[in-house]
Amino acid sequence: MKKFKYKFTKATTAFIYIGIALCVIGLGINLYSVITGDIASSANPVYPIIQHTLMFLIPIVLLVILISLLISSYYSINENYFKISFGIIKSKCDVNDIETILLDRPTHKLNLFFKNKSFIVIGVKEEWYEDFIDALCAANPQIEYKINSIENTGDNNDKKE
């Protein structure tokens, strides 16, 4: 099985790290509030207990999601399946459902087109495009590989079988 790490943009990576920092700060502020006796000074302790429980639960859930995005975002290819893991969200499709791989040089994107006329854009490093394409074509030799070049020469699609 070949794995290819998902490539986040710099802005997305920065937002993920900022989100992680905000979750940690939120947990710290809530912990400080619980330690200083905010619940004991309340006339009805039910509402502060619910409030603090939610204020612990929400940052923890967000922290798990954000960390899983950094650690577990990848594409994997084996003999039968093309798997997409985007943090805690995972999906897979049969490699025989992939019809075409299009390397679009003007936009620097790698697109996969499926038999049901849907497509996805692959977000891996450009240096890994050839390895990714080779792994998919090895799993399913029937996949058509096209290149949309920057210059339009009339026949701008190179094919690899």
- Structure confidence at residue 64 (pLDDT): 94
Does pTM surpass 0.75?
A: no
Task: For the chain of 161 residues, list the mean pLDDT of each consecutive stretch of 10.
Answer: 86 95 94 77 76 90 94 89 90 89 84 89 84 88 84 52 46
3-state DSSP helix/strand/coil percent for the chain, to nearest 5?
45, 30, 30
Give bridge partners of residue 110 from the DSSP assignment.
103, 122
- Structure confidence at residue 58 (pLDDT): 94
- Structure confidence at residue 36 (pLDDT): 82
Phi, psi at 58, each rounded to 5°: -65, -50
Alpha-carbon separation of residue 55 from 2, 23, 98 (angstroms): 40, 10, 44
- Structure confidence at residue 161 (pLDDT): 46
